[in-house]
Amino acid sequence: MTYATRARGRSPGRAAVVAVLAVIAVLAIIACIVYFAEPARSLPSVLGPITHPASRAGAHRSTRAWTALAIGVVCLVAAGLVSRQGRSSAR
């Protein structure tokens, strides 16, 4: 860690945590949008197979969408808190 980084109260580890949390938040919000926009039969296989009866294949996965949105918001809030914590400790 350089002197300039220490003088500003930032650590490379904290910056990495903020970046990882922000990326997870963005990916979760994108998944939320996909869950709301696409019917279950059209979802990419990475977002989960259809386990419901064929009659629900055209339905949207709203529970998973709300869960993905909640995870995204929690990660964004956590990234903001970690980022702010780094600024307040320099004072």
> How confident is the model over 27-86, as pLDDT tens digits?
999 999 988 888 777 777 777 766 666 656 656 678 888 999 999 999 999 999 998 885
Residue 1 belongs to a domain: no
Residue 60 belongs to a domain: yes
Residue 30 belongs to a domain: yes
* Sign of the alpha-carbon dihedral angle for 19, 20, 22, 26: positive
pLDDT of res. 53: 63
Residue 48 belongs to a domain: yes
- Count of the separate structural domains present in the chain: 1
Residue 18 has pLDDT above 50, yes or no: yes
Residue 87 has pLDDT above 50, yes or no: yes
Residue 4 belongs to a domain: no
Degrees to nearest 5, angle at CA 80 with 27 and 91: 155
What pTM was estimated for this model as a whole? 0.72
Place 7 in a pLDDT band, splitting at 50, 70 and 90: very low
Which residues constitute the domain of residue 69?
12-88
Residue 35 belongs to a domain: yes
Residue 51 belongs to a domain: yes
